Amino acid sequence: MKIRAAFIAFLVGASLLSAPAQAATNLSVGVAYDIGGRGDKSFNDAAAAGLEKAQRQFDFKLDAVVTDGSSADREKRIRSLITKNCNPIIVIGSGYAPTLQALAVEFPNTQFAIINDASVAALNVTSVVFGNVQGAYLAGYSAALISKTGKVAMIANPNQADLFKDGFSAGVFASKKKVIPIVKYVSGSYSVATTQVLNAGADVVFATTFGSDAEIFKSILARNAKKKGSVLGLINIEPDQYITVTNATKKFLIASVVKRVDKAIYDVIALSVAKKQYLDILDADAGIYGRSYGIAGGGIEFTVRSKELAGVSDLINVAAATAEKIPA
pLDDT given at position 249: 74
- 232-258: b or e for each residue (b if 16 or more CB lie within 10 Å)? bbbbbbbbbbbbbbeeebeebbbbbbb
Residue 168 DSSP code: I
CA distance to 40, 47, 231, 286, per residue, from 91 (Å): 16, 10, 40, 20
308, 134 contact by CB (below 8 A): no
Name the nearest CA neighbour of 110 among 95, 100, 118.
Answer: 100
Per-residue pLDDT of the chain (328 residues; tens, 9 = 90+): 555 433 222 222 232 333 344 544 589 999 999 988 887 777 889 999 999 999 999 999 999 999 998 999 999 999 999 999 999 999 999 999 999 999 999 999 999 999 999 999 999 999 999 999 999 999 999 999 999 999 999 998 888 888 889 999 999 999 999 999 999 998 888 889 999 999 999 999 999 876 546 788 888 888 888 877 667 899 988 875 555 567 777 788 899 999 999 999 999 999 999 888 787 888 888 889 999 999 998 999 999 988 999 999 999 999 999 999 998 7
Q: What is the full DSSP assignment across 244-286?
A: G--TTGGGTEEEEEEE-HHHHHHHHHHHHHTT----EEEETTT
Q: Dihedral of CA 61/240/253/216: which sign?
A: positive
199 CA to centre of own chain:
29
Calpha distance 83→79 (Å, rounded): 6
Record the pTM. 0.86
**Per DSSP, which regions of 100-172 are E strands?**
112-115, 125-130, 151-156
Helices (H) and strands (E) in the chain, counts: 11, 14
pLDDT given at position 230: 67
pLDDT given at position 5: 36
Calpha distance 155→206 (Å, rounded): 6
Question: Quick check: helix, strand or coil at residue 4?
Answer: coil
CA atoms in the 13 A half-sphere facing the CB of 227: 16
* Phi, psi values for residue 31, rounded to 5°: -130, 130
pLDDT given at position 38: 87
pLDDT given at position 119: 94
pLDDT given at position 239: 76
pLDDT given at position 229: 65
Residue 12 DSSP code: T
pLDDT given at position 217: 83
Q: Dihedral of CA 271/277/281/283: which sign?
A: positive
Calpha distance 241→219 (Å, rounded): 15
**Which structural domains are found in the chain, ordered by start?**
2-130+260-293 (3.40.50.2300), 132-259+298-323 (3.40.50.2300)
40, 243 contact by CB (below 8 A): yes
Residue 13 DSSP code: T
Find the largest Cα–Cα distance for the chain.
Answer: 63
pLDDT given at position 297: 86
Calpha distance 96→44 (Å, rounded): 13
pLDDT given at position 111: 95
pLDDT given at position 238: 82
Calpha distance 281→96 (Å, rounded): 21
